[in-house]
Amino acid sequence: MAEKTAGEKIGELRDRLAKAQHLVVLTGAGISAESGVPTFRGQDGLWRQYRAMDLATPEAFQEDPKLVWEFYNWRRELLAPLRPNPGHLGLVELEKRLPKFTLITQNIDGLHQVAGSRNMLELHGNLWWVRCTACGMKEEDRTVPLPVLPKCRSCGGLLRPHVVWFGEMLEPPVLNASYEAIEQSDVMLVIGTSGTVQPAASMGVLAKRTGSLVAEINLDPTPYTDAYHISISGKAGDIIPQLVDG
């Protein structure tokens, strides 16, 4: 049997979305890369002489919070001028059209909010939010740059980026809400994620197991490509608008 063309797959998925009651979307670095967000893998992972993965840890922050904040201020400066792309905007339109919509993202760049997404769960936090290491206060702060050692307005404690660092657990309420949405969904889109970072990597398989139609949109095959019902190769910014406008 001949492999379906991309156009046929998009048409099939568009038909299913038209009947969907609860769409869950999982997004990864691929959708943000189309807006110019570095992935921080390979050469993108170097800042000065440091590897990004070595600075995004609680141990690095404890040892040298000034250095870590300099790194995150640099990231803020990179991201501040970037804008959502047609992939982000297409998801906003799907959210408006469908009875129930949940967006789960691994991205910390905040582009989904800027685009207008509302019902969203951020697995890894948000670069534009800060959290007090003393009292736990959380708030959005888009100042660029922040003071090198920013202080909490409530108690004067040291602020940290409100992101999940390597070696830290995901926030249980966010993770539990993600699983609950997946189990209630009837269609799930897995967009621009490499399928290598757990627990997000296996969320599409969970959705399939609980009865959802699962479709992957990605430039390259992933470890889970063959497990999904539909796999469409390409950019989210090209494909998602076709699902909306058809």
Per-residue model confidence (pLDDT) at position 192: 96
State how far Cα 194 lies from the chain centre: 12
88 and 201 in a single domain? The answer is yes
- For the question of whether the overall pTM of this predicted structure is more than 0.75, the answer is yes
120 and 92 in a single domain? The answer is yes
**pLDDT one-digit tens code per residue, 62-80:** 999 999 999 999 999 999 9
42: left (phi over 0), alpha (psi -120 to 50) or beta: left
Nearest CA to 48 out of 77, 18, 68, 19 is that of: 68
139 and 98 in a single domain? The answer is no
28 and 145 in a single domain? The answer is no
The tally of domains found in the chain comes to 2
177 and 228 in a single domain? The answer is yes
156 and 181 in a single domain? The answer is no
- Which residues does the annotation mark as catalytic? 124
**pLDDT one-digit tens code per residue, 147-199:** 999 999 999 999 999 999 999 999 999 999 999 999 999 999 999 998 888 99
The CA–CA distances, whole Å, from 159 to 58, 63, 109, 145, 149 equal 13, 15, 18, 14, 7
Residue 31 neighbours by CB under 8 Å, 6+ apart? 85, 87, 88, 107, 191, 192, 236, 237
118 and 229 in a single domain? The answer is yes
**Structural domain includes residue 152:** yes
Q: How many CA atoms, within 13 angstroms, populate the side-chain half-sphere of residue 213?
A: 16
CATH code assigned at 204:
3.40.50.1220
pLDDT band per the 50, 70, 90 thresholds, residue 48: confident
What is the domain extent for residue 224?
Answer: 6-37+84-124+170-245
